[in-house]
Homo-oligomer: A and B are copies of this chain.
Amino acid sequence: MFIQRFEEITILTNGVNLISLTDSIEKFVKSSEIVNGILNLSILHTSASLIIQENADPDVQKDLINFYDKLAPMSNDLYIHSTEGKDDMPSHIKSSLTNTNLAVSIKDYKVQLGTWQGIFLFEHRLERQKRKVFLHIIGEK
């Protein structure tokens, strides 16, 4: 029988960082009692984003952060939109380069990820933020 389940989770962030959502997502999938289905993730913001990336070496995350910071530097001289701080417009750009929405597959109660893959919230802003991620699964019990 096909059913749907929803949950909104809140993640407190504290500066530019990658924060693993894998455990929270797996917990939600288990609680949904859905064996097989599609899980759609939506971050309800445009200055933080979602990515599936390496979960092993933390240096990969540092290099990712550095790369995006060089690509869209935090400098008010570069952007027209500067009233919300030098980190705001680069955050919108980084968000557009990664993902706001991600669909992942569930099979046998498990999120289909590779051995080295994790799902992360990518925070792009410097100050503390309260981020909402909407989890939504359609599948069979």
A-side residues, CB < 8 A to B, are: 2, 4, 6, 36-38, 40, 42-46, 51-54, 57, 59-60, 62-64, 66-67, 71-72, 79-81, 83, 89, 92-93, 95-105, 107, 112-117, 132, 134, 136, 138-140
Nearest B residue (CB) for A67: B93
Nearest B residue (CB) for A5: B36
By a CB distance below 8 angstroms, the chain B residues around A45 are 114, 116-117
Question: How far, in whole Å, are A103 and B43 apart by their CA atoms in the complex?
Answer: 12
Nearest B residue (CB) for A93: B67
Between-chain CB contacts (< 8 Å), 18 pairs:
A4-B139, A6-B36, A6-B107, A38-B103, A44-B112, A44-B114, A45-B117, A46-B53, A51-B100, A53-B92, A53-B96, A59-B79, A63-B79, A63-B92, A71-B71, A97-B97, A105-B134, A114-B132
A59–B40 contact, CB under 8 A? no
A104–B101 contact, CB under 8 A? yes
Nearest B residue (CB) for A71: B71
B38–A93 contact, CB under 8 A? no
By a CB distance below 8 angstroms, the chain B residues around A100 are 51-52, 117
